[in-house]
């Protein structure tokens, strides 16, 4: 009897070890497969590498803590996009409030432009134009036009109606066309479409 018990305990311990090993393996795969995409969203939303790195790490740490509970109702990519999106929007909201507080405290602006992460002039221009957008529009452009997600996926990630996604996209693009018109032939498209 004692021997049977010992065998059962031994099996359970092995199973736990296997589960832990599986979890770590799944986590490593998740990180390897999605790290570039999550970093792209983070850097296009925040512009600063340090902030983007924070967001990327926090996204994956949160994913790890709920990996065992993840039941595949959404795709892992959608799930990670949702986490990084929420974190990025929170960060931008807080950054904006902090900058306002700093202005009130010190009577000066804290909005110092960080060094650009883009070597290429075109990408720098796109990043600068993106930063002029409100975060709620910026995230839609990042997910749709840069990441290539569908409006339905973005609606799921942001938990808003698909129509709202399309309307934010439309207004954001109109602004971006104006800002980036020097880089392509525009033909006054925005003003006629609106």
Partner 1 sequence: MLLTCREARLRIEDFCDGLLSKAESLAVEEHVAHCATCRRRLLAERSFRALLRAAREVTPPPHYFESLFSRLTARLEAEQTRRRRLSYAASWAALASVVTTLTIFLVQKPAEPLPRPLRKPIAAGWTLRPQERRNFPPPTANKSVPERIEVSRDVVWASLVEQKRPAAVEEILPTSMESLSPEPETSDTWLAFAVPSADSPSLWKYETQRMSEPDILPPVRRSETEPTPTPSESGLPAFVSVAMTVVSEPTLPVEIILQKHR
* Residues near partner 1, by CB under 8 A: 28, 31-32, 35-36, 39-40, 43-44, 49, 52-54, 56-58, 60-61, 64, 90-91, 93-95, 97-98, 100-102, 104-105, 117-120, 122-123, 126-127, 130, 141, 145-148, 170, 173, 176-177, 180, 183-187, 189, 192-193
For partner 1, the closer of residues 8 and 16 by Cβ is 16
Cβ count within 10 A of residue 51? 19
For partner 1, the closer of residues 139 and 176 by Cβ is 176
DSSP secondary structure string, 136-190? HHHHHHIIIIIT---HHHHHHHHTS-HHHHHHHHHHHHHHHHHHTGGGS--TTHH
For partner 1, the closer of residues 80 and 141 by Cβ is 141
Contacts of 93 (CB under 8 A, 6+ apart): 135
The CA distance from 38 to 158, in Å, is 15
The CA distance from 131 to 113, in Å, is 11
For partner 1, the closer of residues 6 and 66 by Cβ is 66
Q: How far is the CB of 78 from partner 1 (least distance, A)?
A: 18
Q: How far is the CB of 131 from partner 1 (least distance, A)?
A: 12
């Amino acid at each position: 009897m004692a021997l049977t018990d010992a065998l059962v305990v031994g099996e359970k311990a092995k199973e736990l070890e296997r589960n832990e090993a599986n979890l770590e393996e799944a986590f490593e795969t998740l990180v390897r497969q999605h790290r570039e995409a999550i970093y792209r969203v983070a850097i296009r939303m925040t512009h600063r590498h340090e902030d983007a790195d924070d967001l990327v790490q926090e996204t994956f740490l949160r994913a790890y803590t709920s990996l065992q509970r993840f039941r595949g109702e959404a795709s892992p990519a959608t799930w990670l996009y949702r986490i990084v999106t929420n974190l990025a929007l929170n960060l931008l909201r807080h950054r904006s409030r902090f900058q306002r507080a700093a202005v009130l405290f010190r009577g000066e602006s804290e909005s110092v432009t960080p060094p650009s992460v883009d070597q290429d002039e075109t990408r720098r221009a796109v990043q600068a134009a993106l930063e002029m957008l409100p975060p709620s529009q910026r995230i839609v452009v990042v997910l749709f036009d840069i990441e290539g997600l569908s409006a339905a996926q973005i609606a799921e990630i942001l938990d808003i109606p698909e129509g709202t996604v399309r309307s934010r996209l439309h207004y954001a693009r109109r602004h971006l066309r104006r800002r980036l018109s020097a880089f392509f032939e525009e033909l006054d498209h925005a003003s006629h479409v609106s």
